[in-house]
Structure formats: structure tokens, C-alpha cells
Amino acid sequence: MKNILVTGGAGFIGSAFIRHMVATYPDYNIICYDKLTYAGNIDNLLPVSDEPNYRFERGDIADRAAVHTALQRHNIDTIVNFAAESHVDRSILSPDAFIHTDVVGAYILLDEGRKHGIGRFCQVSTDEVYGDIDEGLSVEGDRFLPNSPYAASKAGGELMLRAYQVTYGMDTVITRGSNTYGPYQYPEKLIPFFTTEALDDRPLPLYGDGLQIRDWLYVDDHARGVDCILHRGKTGEAYNLAGENQRHNIEVTRQILEQLGKPPTLIRHVPDREGHDRRYAMTAAKARALGWQRAYNFERGLAETVRWYVENDWWWRKIKTGEYLAYYQSQYSDRLAAATAAP
């Protein structure tokens, strides 16, 4: 492993992974390949932009010719694929881009990687492939029951990896991370959205009764988890990267408000997300057996995250313009108009 192509590396988790890899492995060349969609942000990579073992190249993972050129130009031997459309609500409004990137893009990367003769291909996937879990914890052998176009697209990407491993003997591994949070997360996802809205005393649109459960994983723990599986995972296997920090959405919302010293009256119970999964929960036992362990509990991670958004409004204020406002309108204006104080 020497020349690693990190696709989607200008996004939230991919950029944390690149910052981690550039600092941890000075002998590796880390090449970020990213289309820079609305969610891609070159500011996320400012901390490494002058490092000698880091390069950036703009491109689409579904563009075969561009992928081919990037693999050759940088003599790539390893691919870590973070590139995805990643927001469930956007997949409900418009699934096209999800099929393009999360299914077709994953396939093109695999196919070009195989032809180029790469070694390991690591696919960054999600707990959402397991679907809604009433009780207990998802384990890696569980069947896929994805419920949103996003989750189904991620499941489709994973299945292409399986086919390429079994059929062509490619060296593939898969990580399934749980809900991730931390600095540099695009402010459409629950924690950065509610934190930045509350800072401006704006209403927080909590879907339904707010009693849905998510398992929260701090972004640096997720990045170290991908590093662990990339180096130590067994070919053809998938590994859950679970935060093992289950919380109700309402609890998370109240904690954000408390830390900011803002009143709970900012919470609005709005009509629910369509097909909303009630609970995700996984065990991380298999990744733990390879030596990965999360370092952050939720209280510490949330405190550091909220403080980061308070101190870095230069980063998120310029995002909350243009396309972001158009998306906000289509996702929230009717919902907020139909809001109730309590469900």
C-alpha cells in the first residue's frame, strides 16, 4: 500500500480520514478524488493542503475516463471509497443522483480498479443497509432491508463489491459506520443543522415524536475505524463501526440547546420523514476484535462538536446560502407551517 485514492475526500468523513492518514502515514501518498458536489468542500482539507504526501484531483467516480486517468497518473494501488450522495431527505426528494454515485459510481470505480490491477478496495458503507431494528443489535451477517433510496443505493454499491470479490477475486473490504457527527459536517444533518439554527435562534424541525433512535459515532473514531479495516480487515468481509452510543433524537436536541444556553421552545414537532427508520443499532464486536475501539463517548463528542460550530461560523455561514436555502425551503417550509409544539 503506497498510493491511496480517497474518493469523496472533500466531504465530512472523507476529509477527517485524509487529515488522519496524511499525519499518520508520511510514507503513503494520499490522493483526494472528489467531484465537489454541494457537499464537497475544499475548506475541509485546508489543514493538509501544503503537506507533501497529499494531492487533490477533481472528478466524478462515475466518469470512467476520468477515473482511469486518475488511477494511472498517480499509480494507484489502493482505493477507499467515501464518495456518495449521503443525505436521506435529499434521496426522498430526488433519488437520481444517489443511483448515479452510490451504485453506478461504486461499480465504475471497482471496474476501473480491477482493470488497473489495484490491491485493496475499501468501501465505506452504512448501518442503514440493515434497515429499521426494533430491538437488539445488527451483526454483519444480517440481511439487508434498506428503506430509503439512499439506503438502497448504498446496499447496491456493497453488493457490487461482493460480486467483484467473488467473481474476479478482488481484495475488497466494507465498513458500515453508524450515524457520524463532528466538525466539518455539512449543516443539513441533524447535529450541525440544529446547532447552527439554534445559534441564530431559529426553529428546530424535529421529525414526528423525536423518539427515533440513532447510534452516534464521533468522526475521528470513524476515520480511525476505516484505517483499521483498510489495514487489518479480511478480504471479502464487512465490519460494523458502531458508536455504541444510542440516543433518542429529542435527547440529542435538548443536549445541543442546553450546551448553547438556548430554550427548548425552539423545538418544533413537524410532520415525519417518509419511511423514517425508527432505530438503528449495531454491535462493533467484529471490528473491536481487530483492535478498533471508539475513543469518544457521546457527551464528550457532542460538547467538542457544538463548541467547534460556535467557534467556526466562518465555515458554515458561507454554506448556508444559495442552493442550501433552496433545499431548506423545499424540505422545511411546509413542515414548519404544519408544526405543533408537542406531538
Active site residues: 127-128, 150
| Pick from 148, 149, 118, 215: nearest CA to 176 | 215
| Shortest Å, Cβ 236 to ligand NAD | 19
Interaction partner, residue 39 (ligand NAD, ligand TDX, none; CB < 5-8 Å by kind): ligand NAD
Binding of residue 207 to ligand TDX (CB under 6 A): yes
Q: Which of 62, 190, 198, 256 is close enough to bind ligand TDX by CB under 6 A?
A: 190
Binding of residue 195 to ligand TDX (CB under 6 A): no
- With contact defined as beta carbons under 8 Å apart, do 220 and 159 qualify? no
Indicate the SS3 state at residue 149.
Answer: helix
Interaction partner, residue 101 (ligand TDX, ligand NAD, none; CB < 5-8 Å by kind): ligand NAD
Binding of residue 221 to ligand TDX (CB under 6 A): no
Binding of residue 12 to ligand NAD (CB under 6 A): yes
| Shortest Å, Cβ 80 to ligand NAD | 10
Kindly give the residue spans of alpha helices, DSSP state H, lying in 203-277: 219-232, 249-260
Residue 63, Cβ neighbours under 10 Å: how many? 15
Binding of residue 180 to ligand NAD (CB under 6 A): yes
Give, in order, the Cα–Cα distances in Å from 18 to each of 54, 94, 212. 8, 29, 32
Q: Which of 62, 83, 88, 228 is close enough to bind ligand TDX by CB under 6 A?
A: 88
Q: Which of 4, 5, 6, 8 is close enough to bind ligand NAD by CB under 6 A?
A: 8
Q: Report phi then psi at 181, rounded to 5.
A: -145, 160
Query: Helix 249-260 crosses helix 298-311 at what angle (to 10 degrees)?
Result: 50
Nearer to ligand NAD, 252 or 266 (CB): 252
- With contact defined as beta carbons under 8 Å apart, do 262 and 309 qualify? no
Burial class of residue 295, CB neighbours in 10 A (0-12, 13-18, 19+):
exposed
| Shortest Å, Cβ 190 to ligand TDX | 4
- Note the residues at the interface with ligand TDX (CB under 6 A): 86-88, 126, 128, 179, 189-190, 193, 205-207, 212, 214, 249, 273
